[in-house]
Amino acid sequence: MYHIKDKIAFLKNRLSGKRFQHSCNVARSARQLAQQYGADLEKAYFAGLVHDVCKEIPYEEQFALMNEGTFTPDLAEMHSKKLWHGIAGANFIQQEFSIEDRDILCAVRYHTVGRANMSLLEEIIYIADMISEERDYKGVDKMRRLAQKDLDAAMLEALQDALNSVLKKNGLLSQNTIEAYNFYVLKNSEPKEIKSVTAKKSS
């Protein structure tokens, strides 16, 4: 359905060796998390594979793609070039690969900033990007352990790290990231019984 072999060949020609390897690693991590948490394995692998499809194209092209599709940036995203590729990538795969699955499109669009009430696939791609095999930042082992144990806890940890990193650089905070942080703080503070009922209602 997603023509994985064709997309791998496409990305191999489009991305640097390092970025291509990262994309493959994220795809594998996404598939493993999907298997663990009950998501669609093929969809998770595909979304992980293409999440950085626009990461290395010129900023001028990213900007154009970001502003000509279904997804649009918020104020902070508009002024933060490093965030453009997620929005551009979602618009790109919709236009060029004819992907209309909203879950996949949102997984690519929000993999850099998160958002409140993310779908399981969106969470999987966000976290898979954080724990892919080549990652070696301080705290990655803790993130990997959390990902295997509790996806909600992993999301909160990842968002805290993202917010701290931006604040240290006096950067702009995406409204999506702020809302995601608030959402996962509340979600992680809920008793397990309530979380279970909420999960059933949203499934």
pLDDT in tens, the chain (203 residues): 799 999 999 999 999 999 999 999 999 999 999 999 999 999 999 999 999 999 999 999 999 999 998 898 999 999 999 999 999 999 999 999 999 999 999 999 999 999 999 999 999 999 999 999 999 999 999 999 999 999 999 999 999 999 999 999 999 999 999 999 999 999 999 776 555 544 544 44
Residue with tokens 């279904």: 70
- Structure tokens given for 9: 């060949």
Domain count, the chain: 1
**CB distance 71 to 91 below 8 Å:** yes
By residue range, what is the domain housing residue 69? 4-202
Residue 42: alpha-carbon gap to chain centroid: 16
The C-alpha atoms of residue 32 and residue 29 are separated, in whole angstroms, by 5
- Output the domain CATH number for residue 28: 1.10.3210.10
Residue with tokens 């499934």: 203
Helix or strand (DSSP H, E) at 50: helix 41-50
Exposed/middle/buried for residue 78 (C-beta within 10 Å: 0-12, 13-18, 19+): middle
